[in-house]
Every structure is written in structure tokens, then in C-alpha cells.
Amino acid sequence: GLKRLERRLAGGRLTPGKAELTKGHAVVWGEARHPDGRVRRARLVTPQTHVYSAEAAVLLARRALDAAKPGYQLPSAVAGAALVEEIPGVQWREIVERAEETVDEDGRPVTPQAEPEGA
């Protein structure tokens, strides 16, 4: 059961090796739904999580040195909402909806309308 899993994990290597640090990656998927039915999905691919965390910490430390405010600050307050896009090795991709996946309030398929240029 759970105790056996805990013992097995405790006996394993908790830090990644050199190969995993250089070649590993993480994938995060997210979805946001608007009350009117619009859905947006995105995928974020990052370097191995230890590397990603270190890169983010260095970036945030540099930002804090440039414009430090007293007290605790959230990472997005220090570096902005696009912080993740500035970390080396990160790939952000919006997942585009297929027309048949978009439905109206009655569940009928709706073809998304293209936005006019300049909108």
C-alpha cells in the first residue's frame, strides 16, 4: 500500500542526474472557459523542473534588484504576467479549437467567425 510506496520512493534518487537535467522537460496543459461558452486551451513545455525553477529564480532576483519593493511580492508582480515566456527553453502554444468543438447554448455546433483585420 501507501507505506510500501513511501519506502520505495524514500530509497530512490530524489535529485535528477546530469542527463535528466539537460534533456528532461515538463509539459503543463491548461483550459479556461468563459460563461458565454468560449474555451481557450494552451500547452506550456518547460525545461526540466529543477532547471526551470533555477532559471525563474535568477530572473526574478535580477528583476527585484532593479526595482525592489518592500515586503513579499508575487512573481507576476515582480516580473509581469509574461514571466514564463522569458525563461530560456520555454515553449507556449495556444491550442486552437476545431469548429465542431465549439457549440452554442443549446449544444449545436457553431463555426467561429474570423475577427476583422485590425480588430
- Residue pLDDT, tens place only, 42-72: 999 999 999 999 999 999 888 888 777 888 8
pTM of the model: 0.61
Q: Do 54 and 46 contact (CB within 8 A), yes or no?
A: no
Q: Do 114 and 99 contact (CB within 8 A), yes or no?
A: no
Q: Measuring CA to CA, how many Å separate 66 from each of 70, 79, 84? A: 13, 11, 18
Query: What are the extents of the domains in the chain?
Result: 2-67+80-97
d(CA 92, CA 85): 7
Least confident of 26-30, 32-36, 45-49, 75-79: 75-79
